[in-house]
Structure 1
Amino acid sequence: MAQDGALKIGTAVALAMLAGCGRQEEPAPKRVTTPPDIPHTASTIVVPIEAKLTDVARGLNQAVPVRLWSIDEHRDKCVPAQKVRLFGRERKVTPALGCRLVGEVTRGPMTLRGSGDRLVVTLPVRARLSARDVGGVASETATGTAIVRAVVRLDMQRDWTPKARLQISYDWREPPGVDLLGQRVTFTDQADRKLAGVVAKLERTLPGELKRLEVRRQVENAWARAFTSIQLNGDDPPVWMRVTPQQVGYDGYRVSGGKLRLVATAQVLTETFVGQRPADPAPTPLPPLARQPAAPGFSFATPVLADYAQIEPVLLKALVKLNARGIVAPKIGRIDAQFGKVTMFATEGGRIAVGVDVDAKAPDSPIESAKGRVWLTAVPYNEPNSEVVEFRELSAVTHTDKPQVDLLAGLFATPAVLATISGSLTQNFAKDYARVLTSAKQAIAAKRLGDIILAARIDRVTHGRIVPTGAGLYLPVEASGTATISYRPR
């Protein structure tokens, strides 16, 4: 009997303590502090080196003399011997006549044109030759014109030295020649031998002019400046993209719009960081030119993060409105609930934990009041490429046999309360999504890094499913497009 009495007294004291201090609180779910796992992506950025064709042509014209060659030589047979057939035999009527050839060959202005990977150098040639001292005949002067065309194939060696291969074609529109004593005497052979030397000079001169573009210096500057971090988003949250060049390739050249563009490609690693600016990667020396260029394409990952603190007041406001309309719980009846602080964070199993402070009064229930914090968990969910996030499998963490706790649990098991919580947690991230992308596009549209301009264009954006992380709800977004790094001194 004494033991039964002590039990009753202990129970009464416990109930009095519950009613007096009135606070019942379930243990909080385990908080997960893991940061977002943002993928690193590989990109290939175009590094164009441009020159006007008129500038290259000007250099060629300065390097190649206008007077290509001169001739002053004796020719034993300017006019072959004349023969006639008489009495069945050929008989010489006049002997072969020698002469002295004097003259020069000049060129006109060289021009460059082309399209795609075809560069054409055009060289007009004019010959003026005289045949003198031809058997007492007065001197005769011959003129001729030719158009020399060189189809150029440019390439870049591993040490960044340009080279050119020329395929030459030409035709004499007016072969140089004169009529002497009724005979046509041409000087094409002499001119052709001299043109071979002009072609060889062009092959040596054109790479020299391309060296004036200083391809290595421009690529080297772009390479060194590309080891950097670029801010993609200013706040909520700050997002940084760190760029680390890996390799450089050569993607040929293009001729378009009167310009010659040598195209190098830089393969880079892009990493995304949330929060503080990451340390810039340590620059490495420019590597040898890679012979297998990659297809240009720029991509990076950027997070859309929703801080739990942004959602908490939304849920609290909805619960307050629900209480104003009245809450009736099954088996409990009418409940007057004063909702307080709302706490949200990531927990185990890909879920979020939601804690709500509440002071509940149930006049029609044997347990008139209870005060404490109730914990629920839910699974955030969205369809791929959808910014609408809903929360599924909403449920209380535990149920106990404590009367006051059961009152609070019953309150949060009420369909109206569950529907309010679920509806309030459902979020449309479209505005956050658009804001972050707009900020990222502006950040990389034309970013000056000293004498280097990084210009990127986003052509495609995709995102996956929402993930609860220690930093907030993380929507993984990947943007892809094209990018160029250009050398533009201030």
Structure 2
Amino acid sequence: MRRLIVGGAVLLAAALGVAAYFLFIKVPITDYPVPVREGAAPPNVHEESVLVTSVGIPLRTIQRGLEQDIPRQLWSIDRKLDECVPRKQISILGQDITKTPKIGCTLRGSVKRGQVSVTGRGDRIVARFPVDAIVRAEDVGGIIKRETATGRAFIEVSARFLVSENWQAGSDVEMSYRWSKEPGIDFLGQRIRFTSEADKELKPIIERIERNLERQIEALDIKSQVARLWKQGFMVESLNQENPPVWLRLEPQQVGVGAFRVQGGRMSTRVMLQADTQILVGEKPDTPTPTPLGKNAAIKLGSGFRANIPVFADYAELEPVILRALQNLAKDGLKRDGLGSIEAKFRKVTLYPTSGGRIAVGIEAEVQPIGERTGELWKRGKGEIWLTAKPITRKGSEVLSFDKLEVYGNMDSLSGDLLLRVMSTEEVTSEIERALVEDFQSDYEDVLAKAKKGLESVAIGKSRLSLAVNAVEHGQIIPTSKGLFMPLAASGEARFAMNEL
């Protein structure tokens, strides 16, 4: 009996020694508080995009307008002149004796124009058309019954169109014409020219052309067109409907129309829309409230867009991914040197942000040591284990990694501390990290691909915007209240197809 008592005491002492070894030497006994839930809202990053397009009128439209407005017969004349031929002094021996008599006549005729052509050079359009004059001088001095004079002139109108800072269209018009053949007749050795008579009639025609060009520019109603574009620019457009929903949000800051120029058979101008640009993932954001149209802003050089694309890995979506990874790892049992095999059952994973820019991973599990002699001393235990780590990304890279991993927990039995020891192995922590990294990489590729596709064609009213992502800059990953967040600064080309003014 005494031997049995002594033997039992030895075994109890040994058991207590083993327990003390694990509790006081391998795993310090401390209070294991649940990590505090601490995470800010995702940063609302705004970028500025400058969208520039070219709009205008085909020159043929201007040409048709002039053709319709300018009559073929510019003017006609039926007038009696008392003096068709200027009087001259008659001199004898150097002395002025008298003047030649007045020679009267009647002028009848017309001036007709030819086809209008419209071309351009630089910031000016040029309208040209020929003018043919036919003038009949009748009963000239009672000597000539009728004489016909012909002439041809070329009229050229050069105009430059501007839009003021208050959206008023204006023009700077220069007009000229020249007679390639002045209308006139020969009479008594003199050339009688009717150019001055024709000039008088051409002057109001030239003024009419100027008014026509100004009306065509005014008909563009530039202010109304720009105001409509401005109002439609305050928008939220879906880039992807679901899994995940992706949204483009534009909030115009200023708009401008430049000087008109002639290029490729069109009189066109550049229209610039400068807008605050956001790409958002998740719930549909509020549509920005339109502000009144401001003044005509100066056109900025170049065009393009820049926007932040937020990549989110939702904690609720990451939790089952980690749980599956741990369950797969535990199928064949976990092992730890000196402790033998361990049967672990992972029940639940909780993920949220905690202090210091870290994430907390809570794992509810049951553990049962099996196999070796030391394992026989432990009972089945269950409890919650916590891991915290700081997610990091390197500058210019979307690759996710974790730094300063810590493992701790609060178990209901001594065997729970055994699970802590197992969870701190590289095999387990690497599996958790791998699950997080692979899922985040998948989210990154998915959101970026869907944002790129959605940006290919975006409606702004009846206009069409196409944005091509050419470059992506990666920001630092941040544990936020909604999930792991990485801002991507996307930039590229902007093609803006606006309806004809």
TM-score (norm 2): 0.79
Q: Which position in structure 1 is the counterpart of 2:480?
A: 469
Distance, in Å, in 2 between the alignment partners of 1:478 and 1:276 is: 21
* Residues 131 and 255 of structure 1: CA distance in aligned 2, closer, same or farther (over 3 Å): same
Question: Given the alignment, which residue of 395, 401, 414 partners 1:390?
Answer: 401
Distance, in Å, in 1 between the alignment partners of 2:191 and 2:442 is: 87
Distance, in Å, in 2 between the alignment partners of 1:423 and 1:278 is: 33
Q: Which position in structure 2 is the counterpart of 1:36?
A: 42
Offset at residue 301 of structure 1 (A): 2.6
Deviations 1:457-479 (A, max 9, x none): 22434232322222222221233
SS of 1:235 mapped into structure 2? coil
Distance, in Å, in 1 between the alignment partners of 2:243 and 2:121 is: 48
Deviations 1:407-445 (A, max 9, x none): 222112223223333333323756544543443345454
Indicate yes or no: 2:67 matched with 1:56.
no
Offset at residue 81 of structure 1 (A): 4.2
Indicate yes or no: 2:275 matched with 1:268.
yes
Indicate yes or no: 2:387 matched with 1:372.
no
Indicate yes or no: 2:102 matched with 1:102.
no
* Residues 426 and 139 of structure 1: CA distance in aligned 2, closer, same or farther (over 3 Å): same
Indicate yes or no: 2:432 matched with 1:421.
yes
Q: Which position in structure 2 is the counterpart of 1:343?
A: 350
Q: Which residues in structure 2 correspond to 1:29-178 (within 5 Å)?
A: 29-46=35-52, 49-71=55-77, 72=79, 74=81, 76=83, 78=85, 81=88, 97-114=103-120, 117-135=123-141, 136-178=143-185
Q: Tell me the matched-pair count.
A: 465
* Residues 243 and 422 of structure 1: CA distance in aligned 2, closer, same or farther (over 3 Å): closer
Q: Which AA in structure 2 matches 1:436? A: V
Q: Which position in structure 1 is the counterpart of 2:360?
A: 353
* Residues 242 and 419 of structure 1: CA distance in aligned 2, closer, same or farther (over 3 Å): closer
Q: Is the Cα–Cα contact under 8 Å of residues 89 and 100 in structure 2 kept in the other structure?
A: yes
Q: Which position in structure 2 is the counterpart of 1:218?
A: 225
Distance, in Å, in 1 between the alignment partners of 2:483 and 2:473 is: 16
Deviations 1:40-72 (A, max 9, x none): 223344476543332332222323333333343
Indicate yes or no: 2:461 matched with 1:455.
no
SS of 2:216 mapped into structure 1? helix
Q: Is the Cα–Cα contact under 8 Å of residues 82 and 102 in structure 2 kept in the other structure?
A: no
* Residues 235 and 34 of structure 1: CA distance in aligned 2, closer, same or farther (over 3 Å): farther
Distance, in Å, in 2 between the alignment partners of 1:55 and 1:420 is: 70
SS of 1:416 mapped into structure 2? helix
Question: Given the alignment, which residue of 269, 276, 298 partners 1:292?
Answer: 298
Distance, in Å, in 2 between the alignment partners of 1:429 and 1:129 is: 89
Q: Which AA in structure 1 matches 2:59? A: L
Q: Which position in structure 2 is the counterpart of 1:20?
A: none
Distance, in Å, in 1 between the alignment partners of 2:230 and 2:94 is: 85
SS of 1:237 mapped into structure 2? coil
Deviations 1:122-147 (A, max 9, x none): 23222222333333134332222222
Distance, in Å, in 2 between the alignment partners of 1:488 and 1:83 is: 69
Distance, in Å, in 1 between the alignment partners of 2:121 and 2:320 is: 62
Offset at residue 349 of structure 1 (A): 1.9
* Residues 468 and 137 of structure 1: CA distance in aligned 2, closer, same or farther (over 3 Å): same
Q: Which residues in structure 2 correspond to 1:200-239 (within 5 Å)?
A: 200-239=207-246
Distance, in Å, in 2 between the alignment partners of 1:368 and 1:354 is: 26
Deviations 1:88-113 (A, max 9, x none): 88999976745444333222232323
Offset at residue 303 of structure 1 (A): 1.7
Q: Which position in structure 1 is the counterpart of 2:26?
A: none
Unaligned residue ranges in structure 1 (runs of 5+) = 1-7, 16-23
* Residues 416 and 298 of structure 1: CA distance in aligned 2, closer, same or farther (over 3 Å): closer
Q: Which position in structure 2 is the counterpart of 1:409?
A: 420
Q: Which position in structure 2 is the counterpart of 1:252?
A: 259
Bigger shift: residues 234-243 or 95-104: 95-104
Indicate yes or no: 2:485 matched with 1:478.
no
Distance, in Å, in 2 between the alignment partners of 1:137 and 1:82 is: 23
* Residues 215 and 376 of structure 1: CA distance in aligned 2, closer, same or farther (over 3 Å): same
Distance, in Å, in 2 between the alignment partners of 1:82 and 1:437 is: 94
SS of 2:140 mapped into structure 1? coil
SS of 2:498 mapped into structure 1? strand
Deviations 1:203-256 (A, max 9, x none): 222121222223233233333333332123322332333333333322223434
Q: Which AA in structure 1 matches 2:351? A: M
Bigger shift: residues 162-171 or 180-189: 180-189
Distance, in Å, in 2 between the alignment partners of 1:457 and 1:291 is: 23
Distance, in Å, in 1 between the alignment partners of 2:297 and 2:425 is: 68
Q: Which AA in structure 1 matches 2:81? A: H
Unaligned residue ranges in structure 2 (runs of 5+) = 1-11, 20-29
Offset at residue 311 of structure 1 (A): 3.4
Give the superposed CA RMSD. Answer: 3.7
- Identity across the alignment (%): 35
